Amino acid sequence: MGLTDAQDVARIDSKAAAAIASNVEDYDALVHDAAEVTNNQEKMSVSRAIKTYPNAIFFSAILSLAVIMEGYDTLLIGNFFAMPAFQKKYGHCNAAGKCEIPAPWQSGLTNGSQVGSIIGLQLTGICSERYGYRKTILVALAAMTAFIFIPFFAPNLTVLLIGQILQGLPWGVFQTLTTSYAAEVTPVALRPYLTTWVNGCWVVGQLIASGILRGTVGRTDHWAYKIPYAIQWIWPVPIFIGCWFAPESPWWLVRQNRLEDAKHSLRRLAANDRDFTDHEADQTVQMMIHTNELEKAAAEGGSYWDCFKRSDGRRTEIACVVWLIQVFCGGPLMGVSSYFYTKAGLPTDQAFNLSIGQFAMGLVGTISSWFLLRKVGRRALYLYGQLALFAIMITVGGLAFKADNTNVSWAIGSMLLIFTFIYDLTVGPVCYCLVAEISSTRLRAKTVVLARNAYNVGGIIVNIINPRMLNSQDWNLGAKAGFVYAGTGLICIIWTYFRLPETMGRSYGSLDILFEQKVSARKFASTEVDMFSSHSQATAAHSAGSIDEKASSTDKVDGVVANTSGLGYKYEA
């Protein structure tokens, strides 16, 4: 860390101190309370967190169920391409009577929801900050209920495409706010579980869709694909009721300067006054105020453009690439698994059977990840997970050269089952945890929007390529597509090693300091941070009216220790 960086951070903390001191009678008391809460949360055990915040767990889990609808429907359209009744209704048939959806329409239908999601995500970033998380999700649930009618009654591919686009709009809301809400209503100890549960809901949706598709694939009438669409109407009502009674995010209320409402929200998220007192609620709000002012001092404003300024630019890059890795490590093959299995040589009914097993293993993987996140950490799980997925894609591509053999076809299917388990043990759920933790609290919703949109853009690219790789009338690569994803996966592995930091056990304020100090991604875990140790110097500098001049730093060239006035930062190599 250079002298200039240290001075910049000292100025930021002094500026934050000045902003808080101008609105708070006792600045020292505020910082004391904020420090106490931060220290307690970082040291809080999981059992203690569960006992103290059961309502936060309940409401976060309920709101995350909205993602089941997205996981359910995104799997439908990709696997309808392997359903004979759907192919006959919407596909082109050859002289022999074999029907198939043309590759351009496959790309268009799968990309339709992605386009809608991109629009919905951008609107979410604006609406959620203006109206709050709850109201935005409630409107999205109502819209989703109405939009399901379009694909259900679609007479042709054009209307079906319109339905996919419109359904994508509320999906954009679910993709962003479920993760942001989980990150903001839970303490550090519960953060990895509630954010990765969002991925669990995605997998649950895919598992349910696989079971429904297997049950209807043998039908020859239009109910083969209408029944799966109709089942989507089950989800919005119970989720709407749960969201109606859920408290608003206390972080959002603090950003709106509604401090009493924030305290009330915190008390509703906790168990009772014995486990979470009014005094603790006051202290927690003080910590949120301190963190919010620190971030405002580091980057004024809360627009999308601010996501690319100063340290937030690095945070946005990490969030975006972390989600893009889900696309380019081979994950999209899971979304068209039944179609992929048929192209690998398996019978249609067996292809759908494997899809059920695939997502059942995915759910087991997500739950298993909860036991690794606190022991192994985010960075290690993400890196080693990608290495394993890379090896599987190489194996699948190699087996494709003997895919005319039935045993080899089953081997390819088995490898994709293993792929799904490892993906949902590592890359799948850890992504949600990382994106929620990497972003600053003031820009969280907008950073998640940008990251998810990066994922959607990557998805559009893959949805153009995937059908052409698998369709017998185009490239007809079949399982050789594994080599393509192995190549892109290798690039992702290199980026992860050099750019992905470890966020385990860090408060949001501590992460703010680490990013402001430009700490190397590989040294995030070993760097000590005490964001409150020198607050009195910052206050004294503010009182003397010479903040910039009094900001000071000591920096040892060998990198052993560096302290900055005002932030109590200590770097250890």
Helices (H), 299-347: 310-328, 332-335, 337-343
In this structure, the strands spanning 528-529 and 92-93 are unpaired
Which residues, in sequence order, are bridge partners of residue 528? 570
Closest CA to 125 of 384, 444, 466: 444
pTM: 0.74
Over residues 104-146, the pLDDT tens digits come to 888 888 888 888 988 998 898 889 989 999 999 999 999 999 9
Spatial CB neighbours of 372, under 8 Å, sequence gap ≥ 6: 381, 425
Do residues 419 and 88 lie in contact, with contact meaning Cβ atoms separated by under 8 Å? no
Under 8 Å between Cβ of 217 and 349: yes
Distance of CA 478 to the CA centre of its chain: 30
In the predicted model, what is the mean pLDDT of the chain? 80
pLDDT tens across 175-192, in order?
889 988 998 888 888 888
d(CA 387, CA 392): 9
Q: Using the predicted structure, report yes or no on whether residue 401 has a pLDDT greater than 90.
A: no
* Dist. CA 569–CA 12, nearest whole Å: 13
443 — pLDDT class (breaks 50, 70, 90): confident
The Cα 278–Cα 258 span in angstroms is: 16
Q: What percent of the chain has pLDDT over 90?
A: 28
Does residue 147 register a pLDDT over 80? yes
- Read off the tokens for 331: 């994950």
- CA separation for the pair 102, 473 (Å, rounded): 8
pLDDT at 534 over 80: no
The answer to whether the Cα torsion of 51, 504, 321, 9 is positive or negative is positive
Contact between 200 and 150 under an 8 Å Cβ cutoff? The reply is no
Report the pLDDT averaged over residues 318-342.
83
| Domain extents in the chain | 9-44+507-570, 49-246+299-499
> Using CA atoms in the order 290, 292, 293, 295, what is the torsion angle rounded to 10 degrees?
120
pLDDT at site 472? 64
Using CA atoms, how far residue 195 sits from 43, 60, 472, in Å, is 19, 9, 39
Q: What share of the chain is helix, strand, coil (3-state, %, to 5)?
A: 75, 0, 20
Q: In sequence order, which residues have a C-beta less than 8 Å from that of residue 418 and are 6 or more positions away?
A: 392
Q: Would the pLDDT of 25 be above 80? A: no
What's the pLDDT band for 482 if we cut at 50, 70, 90? confident
Percent pLDDT > 70 in the chain is 81
Average pLDDT over residues 239-247: 93
Does the domain at residues 49-246+299-499 carry the CATH identifier 1.20.1250.20?
Answer: yes
CA distance 9 to 13: 6
Residue 22 burial (CB count, 10 A): 9
What is the C-alpha R_g of the chain?
Answer: 25
Q: Identify which has the larger pLDDT, 460 or 295.
A: 460
Closest by alpha carbon to 225, among 329, 76, 325, 112? Answer: 76
Considering only CA atoms, which of 58, 69, 51 is closest in space to residue 275? 51
Average pLDDT over residues 350-368: 84
Which amino acid, one-letter code, is at 299? A
